[in-house]
Structure 1
Amino acid sequence: MSDVEELKAKIKKLSSRAVTQKMNLHDLAEDLPIDWTNIMSVAQQAYDAYEALEAARKELKEQEALAS
């Protein structure tokens, strides 16, 4: 498997993880004020997931530019 293909597979997994974290944040927001003490940790997990996804997408774009 090429580096680009591996990166695309990684992005697919990261995207799924990011969507899951987004839904966790959404569910928490809907249930407020219940579990309000979890806001920071759930938000941080969502932030981290999207940060990793964005970094992987940037890396893929750079790899594709080098390949062309």
Structure 2
Amino acid sequence: MGNIADLKAELKKRSARATQAKMDLHDLAEDLPLNWQEINVVAERAQRAYADLTATRAALKAAEEKAEG
């Protein structure tokens, strides 16, 4: 990932994915014990989404700091 504009666009996409994953996990929890077999799949999806979001935030911060200095 390169420039700041690209990183900001990617951050927006990953933030939306993370929010959706969080809502999916919440919905699954509310419906328990139905679909308990899906806990790992939904939780792993949420974990990946938030890991990607965190990495993109760090990359954006580094790019912004580099551009300033």
Does residue 49 in structure 1 map to residue 52 in structure 2? no
User: Where do 4+ consecutive residues of structure 1 move more than 4 Å?
Assistant: none
Unaligned segments of structure 2, at least 5 residues: none
**Cα offset, 1:6, TM superposition:** 0.6
**Cα offset, 1:57, TM superposition:** 0.2
SS in 2 for 1:33: coil
Does residue 23 in structure 1 map to residue 23 in structure 2? yes
**Cα offset, 1:67, TM superposition:** 0.3
**Cα offset, 1:45, TM superposition:** 0.1
In the alignment, which residue of structure 2 is the partner of 1:34? 34
Unaligned segments of structure 1, at least 5 residues: none
- Provide the aligned length of Structure 1 versus Structure 2: 67
SS in 2 for 1:7: helix
Distance 2:61 2:3 in 1: 12
Aligned-residue sequence identity (percent) comes to 49
Distance 1:13 1:59 in 2: 15
**Cα offset, 1:35, TM superposition:** 0.3
In the alignment, which residue of structure 2 is the partner of 1:59? 59
* TM-score, normalised by the number of residues in structure 1: 0.96
Q: Deviations over 1:4-27 (max 9, x none)?
A: 011000000000000000000000
